[in-house]
Amino acid sequence: MNIQRMKNMQVSLDRLTDGSGHQFYGYYDNPAWSHNDRYHLVHKVSFWDRLQNKDDKAELGMIDTSTKQYTPVAETTAWNFQQGTMLQWNPLAPEDEIIFNTFSGGQYAGVVLNVHTKEQRLLEQPVTNVDPTGKYALSVNFSRMFDFRPGYGYAQIPDSYAQEPHPSGDGIYRIDLRTGRSELILSLQAIWDFTKDFFNGQDHKIMINHINFNTDGTRFVCLVRNFPTASAAHWKTAIVTAKHDGTELFLLSDYSYASHYHWRDPEHLVIYSRGAEGSDAGNQLYVLKDRTHEVEPVDTGFFLKDGHCSYSPDRRLLLYDSYPDEDSYRHLYLYDLERKQGITLGSLYSYPEVQGDYRCDLHPRWNRAGTAFSLDSTHEGRRQMYVVDVRGIFPGAGGERKA
């Protein structure tokens, strides 16, 4: 079959990986680029067409973005295709240390590894999100996540709370990155008590699907979801925020529809959702203000479907993508927030047999300078990673394109 692998391209794709195996980074909201943008982190696996199992290994490495030289640094079996192993640079040492998850001693744990000396220390819990100031990380139950969505959890350990709909002994943990110690700061029972009124007395099994600190580490947002049941085939999502220690909960939006998001600043996040109480534009890309029900659509004529959204470092541009359309193309978008103007950067073929929880989303993610982004794609017949230079697309934003 003759496939047009790319179409309507307004930018050039530079493949960063060497084409061997299947290489990807994963999610769109972790720091994949080193502080000086010299190195980009990557996962390398041997397959792409099924879910991971408990014995499958992922090799972790970094790529020199100027020479494309690949350097392996570690291996792990605690990984998935959507978010990898939460591989990222340590905010306190963003050229020297990486953070990722491992399976060690019969349990999941986070690892802080110096990529040069190979010195490492273990954290008591696996990492889900890292405070931008480098003081704390958050953790949730990856076994419960695997039961809910295998492409986001890990395959080694059954959930010890599987029969409890909202256990008091499980929930959100906060990890001290200096000592490695952790504490349960917000239980699933406490979250259920805070949000259960929506279900009018019906009991539901809940979990945390996504969780992220805001830009100064003072608060976090989490998406609380209920497991599907025979009477309700799809989950609903509540948007809950809290102080970094799990106190001062706020229900930003009750159980409804909510998906991908990104913090703009300590008080505002952009999210594709139903919005908040009182919003009337339906499912849209909104900016929500924490601890209020203030809501504002970004551009109802441009953001028509769900996508992975992220602000450029200077907060002037918004990067976006799409799920495959009817002819299996995923689209890349860039939006100028000051001009209120968006552009389709191009469309990439997505192999339809690589689907479900082992699909390859583009997951575009900014470099530190805001001049380029990387993405994962299968349009060349393998899962590989690419870089796109965006300088000059919107003059004055993201720098200027080199001659």
The pLDDT tens digits of the residues spanning 212-226 come to 999 999 999 999 999
For the record, the structure tokens of 289 come out as 């203000």
E-strand stretches of 162-313: 171-176, 182-187, 206-213, 219-226, 237-243, 250-256, 258-263, 268-273, 284-289, 295-297, 310-311
For residue 402, pLDDT beyond 50:
no
DSSP string covering 313-374: TTSSEEEEE----TTSEEEEEEEETTTTEEEEEEEEE--TTS-GGG------EE-TTSSEEE
| Interval 100-112 mean pLDDT | 97
pLDDT tens by residue, 14-44: 999 999 999 999 999 999 999 999 999 999 9
Say which residues have a Cβ less than 8 Å from residue 104's Cβ, sequence separation at least 6: 122
Distance separating the N- and C-terminal Cα atoms of the chain: 38
Sheet holding 268-273, edge to edge: 258-263, 268-273, 284-289, 295-297
Is the pLDDT at 360 greater than 90, yes or no? yes
| Per-residue pLDDT at 1 exceeds 60 | no
Which amino acid appears at position 402 of this protein?
K
Sign of the alpha-carbon dihedral angle for 372, 377, 379, 385:
positive
Q: Is the per-residue pLDDT at 400 higher than 50?
A: no
For 307-325, the pLDDT digits (tens) are: 999 999 999 999 999 999 9
**Predicted confidence (pLDDT) at residue 193 exceeds the cutoff of 60:** yes
Q: CA angle 72-332-216, nearest 5°?
A: 65
Average pLDDT value for residue range 117-123:
97
Least confident range from 9-13, 179-183, 275-279, 395-399: namely: 395-399
Percent of the chain with pLDDT over 90: 94
pLDDT-wise least confident of 1-5, 34-38, 375-379: 1-5
Categorize the per-residue pLDDT at 401 as very low, low, confident or very high, splitting at 50, 70 and 90.
very low
Rounded alpha-carbon distances, angstroms, from residue 117 to 103, 152, 192, 348: 21, 30, 44, 39
Mean of all residue pLDDT scores within the chain: 95
Nearest to 260, CA basis, from 310, 217, 329: 310
pLDDT (0 to 100) of residue 4 = 78
Of the pLDDT bands very low, low, confident and very high (cuts 50, 70, 90), residue 45 is very high
Mean pLDDT of 154-162: 97
Residue 246 reports pLDDT greater than 50: yes
Report pLDDT for 342.
98
pLDDT at 47 over 50: yes
Sheet of strand 171-176, all strands in order from the earlier edge strand to the far edge: 129-130, 136-139, 171-176, 182-187
Report d(CA 367, CA 387) in Å as an integer.
10
* Chain center to CA of 265: 17
Alpha-helical (H) ranges within 130-215 are 142-148, 188-195
- According to DSSP, the residues that pair with 210 across neighbouring strands are 223
pLDDT digits (tens, 9 = 90+) for 330-343: 999 999 999 999 99
The per-residue pLDDT for 103 is 97
Per-residue pLDDT tens over the stretch 51-73: 999 999 999 999 999 999 999 99
Give the pLDDT score at 2: 59
Confirm whether pTM is higher than 0.85: yes
Span 100-114, mean pLDDT? 97
pLDDT at position 278 is 75
Mean predicted confidence (pLDDT) in 381-396:
94
